[in-house]
Amino acid sequence: MTTMRENAATLRSSAEIRYSDELGRLRAADRDPRPEGWVLSPRAVRRFILGDPALAVSRKFYGDDPLVDRAIVTLMGHQGLMLVGEPGTAKSLLSELLATAISGDSALTIQGAAGTTEDHIRYAWNYALLLAEGPSERALVPSPMYRAMVAGKLVRFEEITRCPPEIQDTLISLLSEKHIMVSELGEGARVHARRGFNVIATANLRDRGVHEMSSALKRRFNFETVRPIRDHAFEVELVLAQVQRELDGAAIGARVEPDVVGLLVTVFQELRAGSTREGTPLKTLDAVMSTAEAVNVVHAAALEATFLGNGRVTPREVANQMQGVLLKDSADDVKRVQHYFDTVVRERGRRDGAWKAFGDAARSLWA
């Protein structure tokens, strides 16, 4: 069981711990009106997510600033917030940041899956106490949704479309009526949501067709689409910053050059978009070509360079680590990647040494 003060060996602390200093500065400087139940004002929530140099608050979400504004406004109202998009577009991160800034607690989370039951959304029972005492508040085991209602906080529902439809539809009455009936405790026993309660759900566009949401449930949410980053220079800068943060946290001194990251980002953007920068059409991959995956590739390449190389990340290390991302979803992806390297990468390699080294390494690995 972890404590609120995880030590330096923790792989990933919650956002309220990682950014506790920033949150403290924002609270101290926050003079704007706050909705009832909110820890910070809407303006301070925005500054927490998008950054404020004057208060030394870092930017944490990159891409669509108006989307953040709309998300904050939605969570002040009666409808829930649904974040949809391709895998790896930081939907869960944005959900965590919003819950942290608004409620001071990002841990009230339901993970959607085929095995998610109604107990995970409403409440369960401690059966030893239930048998010994009968139904009582002491025997009741509240769900994250239940606890969020009692405390007037946000609850996060990850991967909602992975839940069976009958489980998804449990949310319809909760979002409409804002209370949970506890019939076992007697007629009229219910928990009413306090102000500040709302739901942030996420769903991957790749999961369409797994369990489609009903129209009744969709009406209870405002939908916002989180899109991949398209600006090349901006994505390179973001990948470099994220990787450097990971390396600094582990005290790893690998040298990561912007040009090498730029090469990787170009490959990811082209295969993601289905077109090269010269306008040549490509077949897109089934694999996820997100910024988060690019960060994983560069971080793995840096580890390889540090512990198995000379400490400098080259196109070869990047190529070594790319196949774990590009070739894991579909056999057809292998042919599409080979075509990309045999045509686009080979042509660029005739004019650029980095692209040649990259192509040679990749071809020898994927032969």
Query: Could you say which DSSP state residue 275 is in?
Result: B
How far is it, in rounded angstroms, from Cα 160 to Cα 83? Answer: 10
* Predicted local distance difference test score (pLDDT) of residue 367: 60
Judge whether 363 and 322 are in contact, CB under 8 Å. no
* β-sheet bridge partners, residue 110: 157
Domain edges within the chain:
15-225, 232-366
Query: What is the band of 230 on the pLDDT scale with cuts at 50, 70, 90?
Result: confident
Count CB atoms within 10 A of the CB of residue 182: 18
pLDDT over 70 at 298, yes or no: yes
198-219 per-position pLDDT tens digit: 999 999 887 665 678 899 999 9
Query: Which residues neighbour 355 within 8 Å (Cβ) at sequence distance 6 or greater?
Result: 263, 315, 345, 348, 349
Beta carbons within 8 Å of 360's beta carbon, 6+ residues apart: 349
- Check pLDDT > 60 for residue 100: yes
The identity of residue 240, as a single letter, is L
Would you place residue 1 in the very low, low, confident or very high pLDDT band (cuts 50, 70, 90)? very low
pLDDT at 7: 52
Residues belonging to the chain: 367
Cα–Cα distance between 96 and 155 in angstroms, integer? 10
Which stretches of the chain are assigned E, i.e. beta strand?
A: 80-85, 109-111, 123-125, 140-142, 154-158, 179-181, 190-192, 198-204, 221-225
Top CATH class, 15-225: alpha beta
* Percent of the chain clearing pLDDT 70 (strictly above): 95
9: confidence class by pLDDT, cuts 50, 70, 90: low
Q: What is the widest separation between alpha-carbon atoms in the chain?
A: 79
Q: What is the pTM of this model?
A: 0.86
Q: How many CB atoms within 10 Å of residue 78?
A: 10
Q: How does pLDDT run across 49-77, given as a tens digit for each residue?
A: 999 999 999 999 987 899 999 999 999 99
User: Helices (H) and strands (E) in the chain — how many of each?
Assistant: 18, 9
Q: Which of 62, 132, 117, 126 is nearest to 94 (CA)?
A: 62
**For residue 5, what pLDDT is reported?**
52
* Amino acid letter, residue 12: R
pLDDT of residue 2: 47
Residue 331 pLDDT: 78
| pLDDT range class, residue 332, cuts 50, 70, 90 | confident
- Distance of alpha carbon 8 from alpha carbon 164, whole angstroms: 39
